[in-house]
Amino acid sequence: MIAGNLIDGRAIAEQIHQETAQRVARLAVRGIQPGLVFVRVGEDPASKVYVGMKEKTSTRLGISSRTHALPATTTEAELLGLIARLNVDPRVHGILVQAPVPRHIAEARIYSAVAPEKDVDGFHPQNVGKLMLGDPTGFRPCTPAGIHELLIRSQVSIEGAEVVVLGRGNIVGKPMALILMQKSRHANATVTLCHSQTRHIDSHCLRADILIAALGSPEFVKASMVKPGAVVIDVGVNRVLDPAAKNGSRLVGDVDFLNVQPVAGKITPNPGGVGPMTIAILMQNTVRAAEMAVVGS
């Protein structure tokens, strides 16, 4: 393994946590504690783990957090009612509704119900619109914003780079493309967004100076698809069967890591790459929401 080309997401996330803790301390001097509320509907095992990790980080940084764990039978109206109450609670600066929600609940309607100034996940249409327009006053979605920080803090040159994003999802793919194509510092990239209907996807990937895989397909990106020296960011989390594993399965990314790593100039491990950054940006967004509330009060 060529350890020298790894982008250490855990180490970079820790840098951000230290910066966030300093901002929390400055707010504490003024008698303000950032408040973050998680809303989880149902008993999805992965959601429980993710919320638990976020709660633990919140506590460590001095951010007040609590979780509303609702049964899977919760109606959309009941969930909207809870969000409405949280929107007007002055102790709450950030609201995160953990995906997925049960099928009988319209996810888009829920995201739209969260007050934009408390939408630390960056999914409200107002924040999405601000991102598209290049307005920095909105909140950016945590995973693509975290990837952006990974690139910046790893001294990856983005300006003028050919970037290929694999996946057109609303959580990562689309906002990632928007972030990197902005006419601003640490952006100005030429972005190609590929998806399931893209023809000759290999040829697109081979042009990429920066290749971001967020399509939810186990080990889709092979070494033959990567330009030597390219930066490869693996966002995927996929469970595959493995009889040799303890529970009969294991988690892999969207990149065939062992074979791609020797080709890449820089590459994120999985786990330990993008995941820690998502949480770091969530905490950063929450503290920023608290700071904005102070200014607006």
Phi and psi angles of residue 251, each rounded to the nearest 5 degrees, phi first: -95, 135
Q: What is the pLDDT of residues 75-108, one digit of tens each?
A: 999 999 999 999 999 999 999 999 999 999 999 9
With 0-12 / 13-18 / 19 or more C-beta atoms within 10 angstroms meaning exposed / middle / buried, residue 164 is buried
Kindly indicate the confidence band of residue 264, based on its pLDDT and cuts at 50, 70 and 90.
Answer: very high
| Residue 68 domain boundaries | 32-116
Residue 54 known to be catalytic: yes
Q: What is the pLDDT of residues 43-61, one digit of tens each?
A: 998 899 999 999 999 999 9
Same domain, 60 and 173: no
Same domain, 149 and 267: yes
Residue 246 known to be catalytic: no
Same domain, 101 and 163: no
Residue from 119, 121, 234, 254 carrying the catalytic annotation: 121
Rg (the chain; Cα; Å): 19
236: its two tokens:
């995927």
Average pLDDT over residues 223-245: 93
CATH number of the domain to which 224 belongs: 3.40.50.720
Is residue 5, in this structure, part of any structural domain at all?
Answer: no
Kindly indicate the confidence band of residue 286, based on its pLDDT and cuts at 50, 70 and 90.
Answer: very high
Residue 1 has pLDDT above 60, yes or no: no
pLDDT for 244 equals 85
Contact by Cβ (8 Å): 290, 32:
yes
Same domain, 146 and 72: no
Give the CA count within 13 Å in the CB-facing half-sphere of 135: 11
Q: How far is CA 225 from the centre of its chain?
A: 25
Same domain, 112 and 170: no
Residue from 8, 33, 48, 54 carrying the catalytic annotation: 54
Residue 98 known to be catalytic: yes
What is the domain count for the chain?
Answer: 2
pLDDT for 246 equals 84
- The overall average pLDDT reported for the chain is 96
Same domain, 154 and 254: yes
The single-letter DSSP state of residue 230 is -
Q: What is the pTM of this model?
A: 0.95
Is residue 82, in this structure, part of any structural domain at all?
Answer: yes
Kindly indicate the confidence band of residue 3, based on its pLDDT and cuts at 50, 70 and 90.
Answer: low
CA distances (Å), 147 to each of 20, 264, 279, in order?
Answer: 17, 17, 12
Is residue 87, in this structure, part of any structural domain at all?
Answer: yes
Percent with pLDDT over 90 in the chain: 91
Contact by Cβ (8 Å): 268, 274:
yes
Same domain, 256 and 154: yes
Is residue 256, in this structure, part of any structural domain at all?
Answer: yes
Kindly indicate the confidence band of residue 224, based on its pLDDT and cuts at 50, 70 and 90.
Answer: very high
Same domain, 146 and 93: no
Average pLDDT over residues 58-68: 97
